[in-house]
Structure 1
């Protein structure tokens, strides 16, 4: 299944952990947004791992969107191309 994941994590160390976890599963698309292709088991493992890297009391949030096949056909990108490497992780 294809997922789009957006995150808002206040602590630099936690944000790095979230970034590195997501990087193992998929591609960084833009600030705090990843796209990944995972199976059901990997999704459960990913969600468990991500939950351990955030602090909801600090307002940290991660949103996971499942992208259906027809949704993928409707993706539009405007502006600069997706970067090859991350540049915004502390």
Structure 2
């Protein structure tokens, strides 16, 4: 299944862990946004790992959207080129 994951994490060290976790599963598309291709088992593992890297008391949030096949055909990029492979993580 294809997922889009957006995150807002306040702590630099936690943000780094979230970024590195997502990087193992998919592609960095925009600041704090990844697209992933995972199976059901990997999604459960991913969600468990991400949950361990955030602190909800600090306002940290991660949103995961499932992208259906027909949705993939409707993705548009407007504006600047997507970020290069360099990390935006401090």
TM-score, normalised on structure 2? 0.97
Aligned length in residues: 90
* Structure 1: unaligned runs, 5 residues or longer: none
TM-score, normalised on structure 1? 0.97
* Structure 2: unaligned runs, 5 residues or longer: none
- Counterpart-to-counterpart distance in 1, 2:68 and 2:23: 21
Instruction: Report deviation, 1:87.
Output: 3.5
Counterpart residue number, 1:70: 70
RMSD (Å) for aligned C-alpha atoms: 0.8
Q: Which runs of 4+ in 1 moved over 2 A?
A: none
- Counterpart-to-counterpart distance in 2, 1:84 and 1:43: 25
